[in-house]
Amino acid sequence: MRKILLFLLFAVGSVQAQELRCTVKINYDRITNANTQIFKTLERSLNEFVNKTRWTNQAFAENERIESTMFINVSGYSSDQFSATIQVQSSRPGYNSMYSSPVFNFNDKDFNFRYIEFENLIFNPNSYDSNLVSVIAFYSYIIMGMDADTFSPKGGTQYYELAQNVAILAQQGGSKGWNQADGNVSRYFLITDLMSNTFAPYRDALYQYHSTGIDLMSEDLKRGKENIKNSVKTLAQIYDIRPNALLTRVFFDAKSDEIVSIYTGGPSIAIADLVENLNRISPLNSSKWGKIRF
């Protein structure tokens, strides 16, 4: 299990597989005046780039690779310039089960980049080469960091530091999403908040939710549900300080449907306080919380 390997920071030695098992999909339906082959080439190149790059020196077995997807929706294309959005998602398996629990679901609306067909995509952690490479590298590290946080308390710090380094270097490129002035829902604030002690309850909640909740449900479903309820209570600490925090939204963008599913079946527990907390800290999902039955 990855929870054991996470104690070995950047272990040196032979590896059996890269860290991610990522599917990159490109939608170019809105582009009608271009040769579509370039989008197919880009999709193939990005899949190879993400899945064949050694992002760290840590050893991952084949069955430990992190399941993830990146959906790139191209809205504009001219010469070698692309305007797009990117939806990044990841999940991790529940212990001793076939169930896969969503961990990360983020829609980045500021993904503009330059790409020439057949150019090599190479990541250098010490330099900025292109916005395309930097954005993909950034989210690769975010995926790894959040996955690690679900297996051990603050286990993702090493990956967030790498993501932050990518973000700092990318600021020199001038593309949107890397700077404080680029809006509250941006790569800048995502990594800044993940690294901030103010939002530590988000990372604590990730660990509680998965390692003491999802992972326990195959053995003790009722206790697992109680622990997931407690993780929501932990997350609520952020609301008391920052009611509209980005990370609270990030949490429920990934978890809202799963939470409803967990608490509408199986052994019953007291959930009045859970529903109250959910409605308080995530009112945008109130229609979903209304489906939870007492």
Report the pLDDT value the prediction gives residue 2, as an integer from 0 to 100.
53
Average pLDDT over residues 249-271: 94
Task: Round the average pLDDT of the chain to a whole number and report it.
Answer: 93
Q: Cα–Cα distance between 177 and 12 in angstroms, integer? A: 34
Q: What pLDDT does residue 293 have? A: 77
Q: How many residues does the chain have?
A: 294
SS (H, E, C) 42-70: HHHHHHHHHHHCCCCCCCECHHHCEEEEE
Query: pLDDT digit string (tens) for 180-212?
Result: 999 999 999 999 999 999 999 999 999 999 999
The 3-state DSSP class for residue 156 equals coil
Residue 270 has a pLDDT of 94
Structure confidence at residue 265 as a pLDDT band (50, 70, 90): confident
Structure tokens at 142: 């975010």
pLDDT at 37: 96
Q: What is the DSSP letter of 64?
A: G
Model pLDDT, residue 66? 96
Whole-number Cα distances in Å, 144 to 53, 140, 141, 156, 265 = 13, 6, 5, 7, 31
Question: Picking from 54-63, 117-126, 134-143, which range would have the lowest pLDDT averaged per residue?
Answer: 54-63
**Domain segments of the chain as ranges:** 13-195, 200-289
Query: Comparing 20 with 9, which gets the higher pLDDT?
Result: 20
10 pLDDT above the threshold of 70: no
Strand (E) or helix (H) holding 151: helix 131-151
pLDDT at site 294: 61
Angle at which helix 131-151 crosses helix 200-211, to 10 degrees, equals 60
Q: What is the pLDDT of residue 70?
A: 98
pLDDT in tens, 92-102: 999 988 899 99
Q: Please report, rounded to a whole number, the percentage of residues in the chain having pLDDT higher than 90.
A: 87
Helix, strand, or coil (residue 237) = helix
| Cβ 228 vs Cβ 205: under 8 Å | no
CA distance 273 to 277: 6
At 16 the pLDDT is 52
C-alpha to C-alpha distance for 113 and 131, rounded to whole angstroms: 6
- Better-scored residue on pLDDT, 293 or 126: 126
φ/ψ (deg, to 5) at 17: -160, 160
